[in-house]
Every structure is written in structure tokens, then in C-alpha cells.
């Protein structure tokens, strides 16, 4: 393994899902739903397969139907207009979109600022691109993990090339507010930074008095021309195995990202691209239904984890709950060590979770936090809660 990748072992998701299979524990670790997305979307994929659409290499930028649907979605939901021919690129999931964006836009030695804890592929993609990651730590305050805007500002140096953002944020469930996004936008304009923004959980937001709707960074003044926005069908439509993602940006930035993408996979997911085009055009009631379903599950698991003795950071978006294990006491929390806790949990309680420390450079800052996924059937969550209460 070369030096760029030497620090990265097997991803925690593979490790923990294998542990779940081996022990038969309930898997609240890796984020994937235990029920598939809508039947009509599955049928659309079957139709595409049967009609021979996408069974051979699709066009490099993605099939025209999907590019049009992505552009239509950005216009309908956010009032953002993108030219489907020049400003939309289909990728093999958001993972490839992230990797291709960094490979295309970062020079060796450039600094890339990422919110810590960060999704694990960010660190590896920055490393593959030869960049230096500069984490800015989200810190718990009043029940939410919060970005310190002064810290973000201080992290920018003359070597900073881009900000890699994620809202709604995995693993903390934080949704950045209008004010926070406006400040980030101002900073990006002032310091002439590019922004790659991972918005794969855009539809999984539990709006209430304290939670803003998801706002795309590209909709802020001066941002459209410097922002690469990333989306994915995996989360919104519950088809994580299809690996259909997309990028929207300016023609120049999309062309740059495509230059890298074409040598990673060239193209992917032919028939599924047609199906996702139909999914993006589902009525608003679909998107509302997903949110309502997940909100109930968030509430169930939050209440259960609280009752089991965890401190719960109630997420505003995504399908993850971050908890602090220290209130469980020294014994049960393995001295507040999330890694040790998660390694032992399948045997001790029959549940799998993810130690947030893997998403940190400052491991000690993430040590006591553990993430549980709630994109599971209600009875599965209820069963997990009973097991955790008996811990
Ligand atoms: N970004 C974030 C924040 C994620 O949580 C995930 C899914 N785990 C991805 C990107 C990857 O998405 P995809 O499956 O579409 O590659
Ligand atoms: N994004 C999912 C998570 O955070 C899983 C991704 C993966 O398995 N690579 O759990």
C-alpha cells in the first residue's frame, strides 16, 4: 500500500457490518435502510433492464433523462437553475463524486478544510489527491454539534484550496442554519475558496421550530460559481446499492470533475440511472412521507437511548444519532472509550454501532461518541432499544 493510503485500513462500515453478520447482532452501524425504496422506482429499473436501456455503457456525463431530472429537481426544490447538458454530471454514488471532485480540484500540498467528525471517505479522497486535510471540529453545545465560525475562519491559510462541507451532517445530525451558511459563503468569497458540498441527506431533515429546512450552499450570494454540489439517490430513495449520485456546478467545474471521473469508473449504474430519473420526479408526498417515517424512528430511538442511559444528541437531519456513552458509567462505557465500547457491544448487547472517533483526526475529541443508525424497521429499533436497556 502506498504512503498516501497507509493510514487507512478497512473502513469501519465493512468492519462493523462483518461483526454484525458474525454475531447475529442488530446492525445499527452502517447506514443502510432495511427496507427498499418505492416499488414504482424498482419497477422502473426492471423496465429499463428489460427494454435494454442502460445495459451497455451509458453516456459519460450520465443519461440525458437523469441529467434533466437532476436539473429539474434543483429548480423545483431550491430555485437553482442548472443546464442539464453542461452543469450536471452523474457519478457512481456520492463517494465517486467526492473523490473525483478532490482529484480534479486539489493540487498536491493544497489544504482542504473539512468539518470534523467527517465521513470517512473524505480523508482518504483528500489523501489520494495529495492534499492536506485541515479539520475544524464541531463541538457539542446545547444538545447540538455546532460549528465555531471563528475557528473555521482561522483555519483558512494562503494554502487553502477548498472547503469540503456536509449538511445535513453525518454523523452528528446537525443541519447548518441560514446564518452559518451565509457566514461560510462570505468567507469563501472573501478568501476565494472553492466549496465541495455533500448534500446527500438533503431530504432527510426533521423541520420544526429549532430546525431549518436544508438550504444548498450554492443558493447563497457569490456561491453558485464556486460550489460543487453533490447528491445521491442512495439516501433519499433507499437504494444504497444502486450507487447513483450526481454533481451540479458550473460548466468549468463539472468538466474538471468529469476529467477525473472518466478514469475512475468512466460510467456506472446504466439501468438504475433511468429509474432514478423517475424517482426524482416523484410527488412531494413521497419526500414528506420519508421525512415523517424517519422522524418517528428518530424519536423512538432517541427516547430509547435516553432511557438506556446514553446522552443523546437529537439529530435535526440524516438517519444517525450521535450519543455520548460516558453517562453509562465507567464500567459499561469502557471508560468512555467508544472504540472499545463498539467492539464489545455485539457480544454484550447484540447491537452494532459505530465509534465516532474514526471520523476524527483529534481522536480524543471523538472518543466518547457513538453513532446509531435509525433507518431500520420500527420493530428492529424497538428490539435494539430493549437490548440496550439491558446492557
Ligand atoms: N456522503 C455522506 C455524508 C454519506 O453518509 C454517504 C453514505 N454513507 C456518502 C457520502 C456516500 O454516498 P453514496 O452511497 O451515494 O456513495
Ligand atoms: N454512508 C453510510 C454510513 O455513514 C455507509 C457508507 C459505507 O458503508 N461506506 O454509514
- Residue that finishes a domain, picked among 228, 260, 282: 282
pLDDT in tens, 191-228: 999 999 999 999 999 977 677 789 999 999 999 999 99
Is 6 inside a domain boundary? no
Write the DSSP string, 71-106: HHHHHHHH-----TTTSEEEESHHHHHHHHHHHHH-
Does position 356 have pLDDT exceeding 90, yes or no?
Answer: yes
pLDDT in tens, 268-317: 999 999 999 999 999 999 999 999 999 999 999 999 999 999 999 999 99
How many angstroms separate the CA atoms of 129 and 149, rounded? 26
Is 128 inside a domain boundary? yes
Is 5 inside a domain boundary? no
Same domain, 83 and 23: no
Task: Judge contact between 370 and 354, C-beta under 8 A.
Answer: yes
Is 290 inside a domain boundary? yes
Same domain, 16 and 120: no
120 lines ligand 2 (CB under 6 A): no
Q: Which atom of ligand 2 is nearest to the CA of 11?
A: 9
The angle formed by the CA atoms of residues 219, 225 and 229, to the nearest 5 degrees, is 60
Q: Domain tally for the chain? A: 2
Rounded to the nearest integer, the mean pLDDT of the chain is 97
Tell me how far the alpha carbon of residue 31 lies from the centroid of ligand 2, in angstroms: 5
Q: Among the bound ligands, name the one nearest to the CA of residue 359.
A: 2
Same domain, 261 and 123: yes
User: What letter does residue 346 receive in the DSSP assignment?
Assistant: H
- Dihedral sign from CA coordinates of 302, 240, 367, 101: negative
Residue 121's nearest CA partner among 95, 93, 91, 142 is 95
Q: Which atom of ligand 2 is nearest to the CA of 121?
A: 9
Task: Judge contact between 214 and 222, C-beta under 8 A.
Answer: no
Which residue in the block uniquely carries the three cell numbers 421525512?
Answer: 291
pLDDT at 342: 97
Same domain, 24 and 69: no
Same domain, 383 and 328: yes
Same domain, 154 and 209: yes
Q: Among the bound ligands, name the one nearest to the CA of residue 232.
A: 1
Residue 257's nearest CA partner among 271, 246, 244, 242 is 246
137 lines ligand 2 (CB under 6 A): no
Tell me how far the alpha carbon of residue 193 lies from the centroid of ligand 2, in angstroms: 28
Range of the domain at 69: 39-282
pLDDT in tens, 72-96: 999 999 999 999 999 999 999 999 9
Same domain, 291 and 186: no
- Residue that finishes a domain, picked among 219, 251, 282: 282
30 lines ligand 2 (CB under 6 A): yes
Q: Residue 100 belongs to a domain with what CATH number? A: 3.40.640.10
31 lines ligand 2 (CB under 6 A): yes
Tell me how far the alpha carbon of residue 345 lies from the centroid of ligand 2, in angstroms: 19
Element (H, E) at 227: strand 227-232
The angle formed by the CA atoms of residues 90, 93 and 95, to the nearest 5 degrees, is 120
Single pTM value for the model? 0.97
pLDDT at 9: 87
How many angstroms separate the CA atoms of 86 and 249, rounded? 9
Is 86 inside a domain boundary? yes
Bond preceding residue 310 cis, omega within 30 of 0: no
- Here the ipTM equals 0.97
Tell me how far the alpha carbon of residue 50 lies from the centroid of ligand 2, in angstroms: 30
Is 2 inside a domain boundary? no
Q: Among the bound ligands, name the one nearest to the CA of residue 15.
A: 2
Does position 390 have pLDDT exceeding 80, yes or no?
Answer: yes
- Residue that finishes a domain, picked among 256, 282, 308: 282
- Provide mean pLDDT across the span 358-374: 96
Using CA atoms, how far residue 95 sits from 19, 84, 166, 235, in Å, is 23, 21, 13, 12
Is 223 inside a domain boundary? yes
Q: Which atom of ligand 2 is nearest to the CA of 119?
A: 4
Tell me how far the alpha carbon of residue 284 lies from the centroid of ligand 1, in angstroms: 23
168 lines ligand 1 (CB under 6 A): no
Residue 51, φ and ψ in degrees, nearest 5: -85, 0
94 lines ligand 1 (CB under 6 A): yes
Amino acid at each position: 500500500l502506498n504512503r498516501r493510503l497507509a493510514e487507512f485500513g478497512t473502513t469501519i462500515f465493512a468492519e462493523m457490518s462483518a461483526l454484525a453478520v458474525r454475531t447475529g447482532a442488530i446492525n445499527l452501524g452502517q447506514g443502510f435502510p432495511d427496507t427498499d425504496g418505492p416499488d414504482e422506482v424498482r419497477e422502473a429499473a426492471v423496465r429499463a433492464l428489460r427494454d435494454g436501456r442502460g445495459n451497455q455503457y451509458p453516456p459519460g456525463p450520465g443519461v440525458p433523462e437523469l441529467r434533466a431530472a437532476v436539473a429539474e429537481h434543483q429548480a423545483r426544490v431550491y430555485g437553482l437553475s442548472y443546464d442539464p447538458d453542461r452543469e450536471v454530471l452523474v457519478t457512481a454514488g456520492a463517494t465517486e463524486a467526492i473523490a473525483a471532485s478532490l482529484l480534479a480540484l486539489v493540487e498536491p500540498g493544497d489544504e482542504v478544510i473539512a468539518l470534523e467528525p467527517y465521513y470517512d471517505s473524505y480523508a482518504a479522497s483528500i489523501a489520494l489527491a495529495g492534499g492536506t486535510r485541515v479539520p475544524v471540529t464541531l463541538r457539542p453545545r446545547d444538545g447540538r454539534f455546532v460549528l465555531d465560525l471563528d475557528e473555521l475562519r482561522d483555519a483558512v491559510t494562503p494554502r487553502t484550496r477548498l472547503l469540503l462541507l456536509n449538511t445535513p451532517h453525518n454523523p452528528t445530525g446537525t443541519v447548518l442554519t441560514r446564518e452559518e451558511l451565509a457566514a461560510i459563503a462570505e468567507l469563501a468569497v472573501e478568501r476565494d475558496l472553492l466549496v465541495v458540498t455533500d448534500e446527500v441527506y438533503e431530504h432527510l431533515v426533521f423541520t420544526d421550530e429549532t430546525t431549518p429546512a436544508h438550504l444548498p450552499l450554492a443558493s447563497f450570494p457569490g456561491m453558485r460559481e464556486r460550489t460543487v454540489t453533490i447528491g445521491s439517490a442512495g439516501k433519499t430513495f433507499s437504494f444504497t446499492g444502486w450507487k447513483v449520485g450526481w454533481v451540479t456546478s458550473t460548466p468549468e467545474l463539472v468538466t474538471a470533475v468529469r476529467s477525473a471521473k472518466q478514469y475512475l469508473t468512466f460510467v456506472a449504474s446504466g439501468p438504475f440511472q433511468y429509474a432514478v430519473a423517475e424517482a426524482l420526479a416523484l410527488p412531494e408526498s413521497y419526500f414528506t412521507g420519508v421525512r415523517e417515517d424517519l422522524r418517528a424512528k428518530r424519536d423512538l430511538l432517541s427516547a430509547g437511548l435516553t432511557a438506556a442511559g446514553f446522552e443523546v444528541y437529537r439529530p435535526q437531519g440524516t438517519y444517525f444519532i450521535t450519543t455520548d456513552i460516558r453517562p453509562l458509567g465507567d464500567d459499561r462505557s469502557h471508560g468512555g472509550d467508544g472504540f472499545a465500547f463498539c467492539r464489545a457491544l455485539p457480544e454484550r448487547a447484540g447491537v452494532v454501532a459505530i465509534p465516532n472517533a474514526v471520523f476524527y483526526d483529534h481522536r480524543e475529541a471523538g472518543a466518547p461518541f457513538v453513532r446509531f443508525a435509525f433507518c431500520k424497521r420500527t420493530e428492529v429499533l424497538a428490539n435494539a432499544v430493549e437490548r440496550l436497556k439491558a446492557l
